[in-house]
Structure 1
Amino acid sequence: MNYKFNEQGSINLLEKLVNIASPSGYTMNIMKFMEKYLTELGIPCKRTNKGALIVSFDGENQQRHRLLTAHTDTLGAMVKEIKSSGRLKLAMIGGFNWNAVEGEYCTIHTANGDKIRGTILMHETTVHVYRGAGDLKRDENHIEVRLDAKVTNAEETRQLGIEVGDFVSFDARFEITETGFIKSRHLDDKASTALLLQLMKHLKENHVQLPYTTHFYISNNEEIGYGGNSNIPENVVEYIAVDMGAIGDGQASDEYTVSICAKDSSGPYHYDLTRHLVKLAKDNGIQYKLDIYPYYGSDASAAIRAGFDVRHALFGPGIESSHAYERTHVDSLNATAELLFAYVTSPMMEMED
């Protein structure tokens, strides 16, 4: 059975996902959204103690299992200090550069459930006051949140319900262009999450019989290093992380193909499984790029570090300007969706001697 990529359905779902705040540690709302989405499709899922979701589709072979994962947690911040001015000092959640969020609108999520808006700015933003401010280092000592509230001191800010430890999310600013580009924060890794949800929907609605029992693991702590490193069913032989391809100087990945990772900062991915993915792409006419990501780790590498005896691999859509205001193209989503379907419906790779 051929798999036809549902472009509009995937884009609509992706827009919903990126607009649900989910910095690592504050993912309960997006996990509830996905649990409801799957339940309405008649697809049962279960929660882990860490708050992740696992969905299982029985296959013809129930002795050797596959697992595919994408993560729904994103970059974000936490209130580190309420300054004497009433503004907020931040602590990072995940790895990014402060200049990537300078000028961005944000939301402070208070413990009592209120959402208070603000803007992330340099303390020395006003050029009419701070000479040479453009040369100052963008770091936690200069970056602050200007609240959209009438506050002039720390006590007035606390009266709003804001306190140290409150989560701060960044606006997504989702946009789809007439030329097929998708611009948004948090495409890492909600683009892949949307594709896995759409694949599960297709499998359910078309009664697709998979050759192997296959698990879909939506993790929620990948950006801080331990998303998919537990709750892996014991019969899993192959573990695929579906995550972004990194684009930049010296990289092969682009925004129009599916990126297959041969190696990242954790070391090489499983050779035979990676070559199997390349062969599937070639056999099915799927546009792909093989690449190495020098400063990258995935849930698959986290599972290996945790000691799981699985063959691990990584592929996903190419994402430009990762961990900043990101961009991809519908062609890359399409190629990734096609490789996903080709993989889950293919015979399991055989090990070479």
Structure 2
Amino acid sequence: MTSLTLREHVAEPANLWIRHSFSRWPAADEDDLWCDLATGRLRSPVYAAESGRGDAVDGSAAAELLRSVSDVVYVPPVAAEHGPLRSSIIEAAAAMGAPLLVQVVCDRLADTAAADLPPNATMVLDVLDRLVGQAVALREEFRENRQPSLPFAPAPLQDATLVWPLISGWTDQPEVLGPVTVRFAAAGARRVVPRSLELDARDRRLLAERLQTTWPEAFDALFHGGESVPDTAAFRSAAEAAGLEHRLPRPLPAAPLPERLRLARGLAGHLIELGDAAVSGGDAYYRAARFLDQDEVDIEAAAREGNLGVLPWLEGPAKHAVEQWLTAWRGD
């Protein structure tokens, strides 16, 4: 068995700010279907068995890896028997300050409560398995233009961020997104964020097999849809119309990691979002964010001493955005 390591990713809103993921992870519960938030791939016990990535993971080894990181570590779903593994990682993160993104499959929500997590851990709720499992009922409700009886009592949703799997030709369609986002809002959700799925042939086949008789239109979209990119604009419009937040704030480090690092990561996340939204000139925001993430400059001290202008990577609209953000942070 190979040594457990952390894989590195580009941290951005599209992958919920994940910087690190474990090279191996035990399989979740039998038949659970979930989205790998780090890669946008489909995950299931079948995948874990075929890939070898479902091997056992030692909790102490996983916790030890957190000593070397200060950015978001992804904690995927686990079966109940592997609960101690997740607990070890959460406890280590609480002690070391590394931010976590803890993913829970919808039906396993009772196993983890957002209120029980340390402040540097963010829980997200994956609804893909429930969406596929309730395909028959949901399809009929959509066809009859009835309010979909999507899951969830209101209470669990108040502290959780829902992750909506965006699948081209199916879950990115306005006729699905409109009633779904309204139902989420009515159930007490405050934030639903999209994760575009990058499905390969195996992923498409697995989903299509489950949906062939329960949701034929989804089957056709998966089987014949090709490699088109999901429509994120339709999701944003539906979420905003329902009064839902659709952006996840960047999870930030906590003590004993330095406050300077927390500030820099929060500011870098803000700049990345500005870059994503910019019609032109987004590179200036991304460049500044990249340098801030390297934590080589105390940006607040530089601003306080009037030295922002000497930073070669900070100019134009990015410099103005940094000044505005720091002013708001200080409460000036």
Provide TM-score, normalisation by structure 1: 0.27
Structure with more of its chain in strand, by fraction = 1
Structure with more of its chain in helix, by fraction = 2
Provide TM-score, normalisation by structure 2: 0.28
Q: Which has the higher contact order (CA 8 A, sep 6+)?
A: 1
